[in-house]
Structure 1
C-alpha cells in the first residue's frame, strides 16, 4: 500500500488548429480564459517526448475554478493525426462534459456559433437531460442539465 494520494486533476489538454476559435467556443459555454502563453524549448519536449517543440497554449477555467481545459496549438512539430471526427465509440479521448443551467438555451446559443447536435437532447431517468454537440473545429462536448432538484 502506498502513501501517495491523488490531490486533484489539474486539466485536460485538447490540441486545436485555432486557439481563437476554441477560446470563443469554450467562452460561450461559460469557461473563462485564465491565461495564454507560448511554451517552447528542449525542456518541454522532454516532458512530451516530441523533442524540441513550440506550442501556444490557452488555459480555460470553469466558473467554480476547479476544472480547466488546456487548449494547445502546435507550431512545431506539426500535428500528425486528427481524431476530431471519430465516432463516439472510437478509442481514446471522447469528450469533455459540462453541467449547464439550461441545456436548451445553451444548445441554441452554441448552434448560432456553428455547433451542431450529434444526436438529440434526451432525458436520463429523473436526473439529467443530456446531449453531445460538435463545436469549434468539430470538438465533441457533452452537456448535462440536472433535473432531479427542479
Structure 2
C-alpha cells in the first residue's frame, strides 16, 4: 500500500489572520472553500459540521497545511500547546533567513518564545506562537549558502 502525507490540519479562530501569517512567510494558497453537509458530518464525525477552509502549500511543494475555521459547531478554545506536551506539537518551516522571517512574524504580533538558538552551527531555530496560539518553529539551515 502506497501512503504519503497529504497535509496537516489546524483549527484556527480567525482564518484570514492565519492565512495572512503563513502566506507572508512564503506559503501559497492552493484553494479555499466553505464545507458543510452530510459528507462533512460523516468524514469529520461532527453533526452539523460547517467550516471555512484554506489549503496552503510550501514553495517547494513539500508540505501542505489545511487551516479551518469552524462556523458550526462552535469552536472550543483550549490552552495553547506547550512544547513538552504529548499530542499535536508544531508546524516547522525551513526559511532562508531567520531574521527576515522573524521580522515578518513580528508584523503579525508573533515573537520567539525565548530567542533564536544555534544548533551546532548547522541550524538557527526558534519557536514562536502564531495565529490562534499555533506553535511554529522557524529553522534556517546554516550549511546552505544564501
Confirm or deny that 1:5 pairs with 2:20. Answer: no
Q: Distance in 2 between matches of 1:76 and 1:149?
A: 45
Measure how far apart 1:94 and its partner are.
Answer: 1.1
Aligned to 1:44: 40
- CA displacement at 1:65 relative to structure 2: 1.9
Using structure 2 for the length normalisation, give the TM-score: 0.92
Mapping of residues 111-122 of structure 1, within 5 Å? 111-122=106-117
C-alpha distance in 2 between matches for 1:149 and 1:105:
16
Tell me by how many angstroms 1:46 deviates. Answer: 0.9
What RMSD, in angstroms, separates the aligned Cα atoms of the two structures?
1.3
Unaligned runs of 5+ in 2: none
**Once the 2 structures are TM-superposed, how far is the Cα of residue 37 of structure 1 from its aligned partner?**
0.3
Look up the match of 1:144: 139
- Measure, in 1, the Cα distance between the counterparts of 2:119 and 2:45: 41
Q: Which residue of 2 aligns with 1:87?
A: 82
- C-alpha distance in structure 1 between counterparts of 2:29 and 2:2, whole Å: 29
Q: Does 1:68 align with 2:64?
A: yes
* Runs of 4+ off more than 2 Å: none
- The number of residues matched between the two structures is 145
Whether the 8 Å contact between 2:81 and 2:135 is mirrored in structure 1 is no
